[in-house]
Amino acid sequence: MSERLTPFLWLLFSAGGTVAAFLFPAHLVLTGLAVPLGWVDAPAYESLRTFIQHPTGRLYFFVFISLPLFHWAHRFRYTLKDALQLHSTAIVGVLCYGTALVGTLITAYTLWNM
Amino acid sequence: MTGELQHTASHPKSYQPRMPLLWWLKNGAYTKFMLRELTCVFVAFFAFVYLWELRAVAQGADAYARFLARLETPLFLTLNVVALLFVLFHAITWINLTPTVAVVRIGGTRVPDGMIVGSNYLAWAVISGVIFWFFARG
C-alpha cells in the first residue's frame, strides 16, 4: 500500500470510528431491536423515502454507511496482520479497502438514483 | 504500521519470531485488545444492514416490508444483539481514548481528561436522543 495513502486511510479510520461510536448504538437499538420486537413502529415507507431523498438524508445515509466501512477495512487489515501474523498484507489490504470502496460506490449509486 | 519495511544496510531484516496463532488468548489484556479490534466486524455488518435498507427503500414499499420482516427473524435478532454489544464496546473504548488522542488546552491549562471524556459521553447521549426522537416517530 502506498506510503502517501497511509495518513488518508488513518483519517478515514478515525472518521468512521467516530460515526460508528456516536450514531451506531442508537440505530442498532432502534432498527435491530425496538422495531423488530414491536416496541416502536418502523418508519413509514413514504416518510423514510422522503427523508432519504432530501439532501440532508442523502448525506446522512452516505456518511453512515461509507465511513464506517473504511473504519472496518483499516482496523480489520491490522487485526489480520496481528492475529494471523501475515507479514505480506498487500492482498489483505486490497480486499479490505476494496470491499469498503464497493460498498461506498453502491451506496452512492443508490442514493444518486433515488 | 507503514506497510513493508525496506531492508537496507541501516535497517537490516529483523528477527521476527512466529507466535502461536492464539497468542491473544494467553492474557486477559491481549484478549480484550483483540475483541476491541474485532468490533470493526460488527460495525461493517451494521453498515451493510443500512445499505440493505437503503436498497430496499429504493426498490419500493414491498422490498422495504420484506427487509423489516427479515429483521424479525431469530437469526437477525441474535446478530443484532451481538452487534450491539460489540458496537457498545467500540463506542466506550473509543470515547475513553479521546483525551489521549486530542489534548485540549485552554489558556495554557490542559483540560482534565475526565472533562473531555464526560463531554463526549454527554454528546453521545444527546445524539442518541435525537436519533430516537427523529427515527422513532414512525
- Asked whether residue B9 is domain-assigned, the answer is no
Q: Do B68 and B107 sit in the same domain of this protein?
A: no
Residue A79 structural domain:
6-112
Report how far apart, in Å, the C-alpha atoms of A9 and of each of A40, B112, B137 are. Answer: 38, 30, 37
CATH for B62: 1.20.1300.10
- Asked whether residue B15 is domain-assigned, the answer is no
SS (H, E, C) chain B: CCCCCCCCCCCCCCCCCCCCCCHHHCCHHHHHHHHHHHHHHHHHHHHHHHHHHHHHHHHCHHHHHHHHHHHCCHHHHHHHHHHHHHHHHHHHHHHHCHHHHCCCEECCEECCHHHHHHHHHHHHHHHHHHHHHHHCCC
Q: What is the pLDDT of residue B114?
A: 94
Q: Do B30 and B61 sit in the same domain of this protein?
A: yes
Residues 24-53 of B with CB under 8 A from A: 24, 34, 37-38, 40-41, 43-44, 46-51, 53
Q: Do B132 and A44 touch (CB under 8 A)?
A: no
In chain B, the number of structural domains is 2
Q: What is the pLDDT of residue A4?
A: 84
Q: Please write the tens of the pLDDT for every residue from A26-58.
A: 999 999 999 999 999 999 999 999 999 999 999
Q: What is the pLDDT of residue B1?
A: 47
Q: What is the pLDDT of residue B4?
A: 57
Q: What is the pLDDT of residue B17?
A: 76
- Asked whether residue A1 is domain-assigned, the answer is no
Q: Do B87 and A85 touch (CB under 8 A)?
A: no
**Which chain B residues are Cβ-neighbours of A49 within 8 angstroms?**
57
CA separation for the pair B76, B57 (Å, rounded): 19
Q: Do B74 and B116 sit in the same domain of this protein?
A: no
Average pLDDT over residues B126-136: 94
Mutate which: B21, B27, B54, B75, vs A, most A CBs within 10 A: B54
Residue B33: closest CA among chain A residues belongs to which residue?
A: A79
8 A C-beta contact, residue B87 and residue A33: no
- Asked whether residue B3 is domain-assigned, the answer is no
ipTM field: 0.94
Q: Do B101 and B80 sit in the same domain of this protein?
A: no
Q: Is the confidence at residue B21, as pLDDT, over 70? A: yes
Q: Is the confidence at residue A87, as pLDDT, over 90? A: no
Phi and psi torsions of B38, nearest 5°: -75, -10
In chain A, the number of structural domains is 1
Q: What is the pLDDT of residue B64?
A: 97
Q: Please write the tens of the pLDDT for every residue from B56-110.
A: 999 999 999 999 999 999 999 999 999 999 999 999 999 999 999 888 888 889 9
The contacts of residue B66 (CB under 8 Å, 6+ apart) are: B56
- Asked whether residue A45 is domain-assigned, the answer is yes
**Gyration radius from chain B CA atoms:** 22
- Give the residue from B42, B62, B84 where a domain finishes: B84
Q: Do B30 and B63 sit in the same domain of this protein?
A: yes
Q: Please write the tens of the pLDDT for every residue from B29-64.
A: 999 999 999 999 999 999 999 999 999 999 999 999
Q: Do A21 and B127 touch (CB under 8 A)?
A: no
Please identify which residue in the block is written with the cell numbers 489521549: B100
Residue A56 touches partner B, C-beta closer than 8 Å = no
Q: Do B126 and B76 sit in the same domain of this protein?
A: no
- Asked whether residue A98 is domain-assigned, the answer is yes
User: At A74, is the pLDDT very low, low, confident or very high (cuts 50, 70, 90)?
Assistant: very high
When mean pLDDT is compared across A19-23, A101-105, B7-11, B38-42, the lowest value belongs to B7-11
The contacts of residue A88 (CB under 8 Å, 6+ apart) are: B4
Average pLDDT over residues A91-110: 96
End-to-end CA distance of chain B: 46
Q: Please write the tens of the pLDDT for every residue from A9-31.
A: 999 999 999 999 999 999 999 99
CATH for A77: 1.20.1300.10
A58-92: string of b/e by CB count within 10 Å (b at 16+)?
A: beebbebbbbbbbbbbbbbbbbbbbbeeeeebeeb
Residue B136 structural domain:
97-138
Q: Do B74 and B31 sit in the same domain of this protein?
A: yes
- Asked whether residue B66 is domain-assigned, the answer is yes
- Asked whether residue B69 is domain-assigned, the answer is yes
Residue A71 touches partner B, C-beta closer than 8 Å = yes
Closest Cα in chain B, distance from residue A3 (Å): 7
